[in-house]
Structure 1
């Protein structure tokens, strides 16, 4: 791939353009919002404006509702030898391309499974897709050259190609992406009118659950409008679980012991199902989850504190597998949770104490 056209210079489009430009591909940038395209160009993502002659690959990074029309426009005008879109829904747009008279042989739907809560070109990074799955949904009629260009795009962006049927993809993302977004927003919505004293008690749990609730509502309306059926089906199942859980909690509050026992069993059953589901989420490098143990360190909110902790861990020969920070409310301090393999806990704790760090017992 020597040349590419990116249509839509938001987070995903600009990130792909940055990755391609960094690897020597000549990238042209187009967007209905010319200011956004200029911003992406100023970041080094490419050259603003459509190419004078056909490029190797056009990357359509527009909202799902506009994918089909944009793909067909690219094909009709001969702007590229192949066209790939990066929208989060695949079945509907592909059918719409056919309805609009588009050519499925030179079009391939795809979805990079990566993103951020922020949107727009200023949130873009060239490494956004590093190590992340990138779904490709070719049909039996997809031209081999277009598939190869798509695979090259995925490789240049550092992602991992995953081939799926378009409708299977939509059901999968309804479960692992679209429904979690709504559930996060539902929990966060409870905080909107909560008393200030209550909100100040927020810990890491509520921060984890509500993190993606900060996403752009307009963007998510576009996404959910393109995949409402599968999302509604999963939410209906969640609603049934919620109804059963509410019933179990009511029983726990009962004066009758038999009902309290039944309620406890109902809540425990849900929590155990949650344990089983969580255990299936791929861990580091996509491998099966590892039972890491946590070392908790008190740090002050000063420059260089995290670097010192990692340096001390490295000097002790301990690899930090994962890390998170829990901020202390109203204080210039917090806790760093260092996840390590079980055998590394004692040597890490010993090294950190010798270096003067304060550790907190779990």
Structure 2
């Protein structure tokens, strides 16, 4: 009858958020319908990603837990998700590949249409042994694996959080077609940390035009419009709106990282509503937002969580998200 087998040792099975299918042990758990698909070789890692998606209300299209892959494997699932209209981004956690050449060939076709983000387990000598006993995987050389991913145009990340953060950015924002980042903030220290992270991730601080700087400083005499721009602690919606628009208009800017602290500042959560409104006017340039911290993040997330603006609780995470958007921009430029 042509019935296919997923597993064994899959533990979690599959979830299809579009039609409500859930074969996991968690019958009452269903992530919000969205555009991120997850392929996972580990039930434990998959359960973590599922919990993350539910907690932060991240939109998911499909989740599939492969297990030992005696029949359905990475290539089959990639091929399916590559054609799935509900999926914009594909995330993979894997510990080994059985059909390496086929996987790379299929991936090269898919990245022309949608980004692939991979987290690889079993990259150290110690963890390779555990991966083999865990899901019967042959991990192989990490150097070879990394080279193959780059050749295929797959974005590689280092941990579970970066996997989800990158997927959120790629599902909500356009790819970035340049290295130049503008930072717009109402505080100094986090903006400096963001600038450090930009350099560490092989991106650049945008050199704003003299005209842009002159207009910003003309509107707000106390503000130094050197990138990163510190709009100072009394910045509210009006200032964010005007400065963000001027920065996005600047031809030297390829993407924008916004920081909005609430504590010790005048900024209120509802002020964040101007960010997606202005960003919408410049759909070719990605914008990410950092309401840094814990409580501040939660308050702004209530306002922007359902918009197309990705939110991160630390500047370094937002920079890595922009890096993922830049990497996918390079993939599209090559393909």
Larger relative helix fraction: 1
TM-score w.r.t. the length of structure 2 is: 0.30
TM-score w.r.t. the length of structure 1 is: 0.29
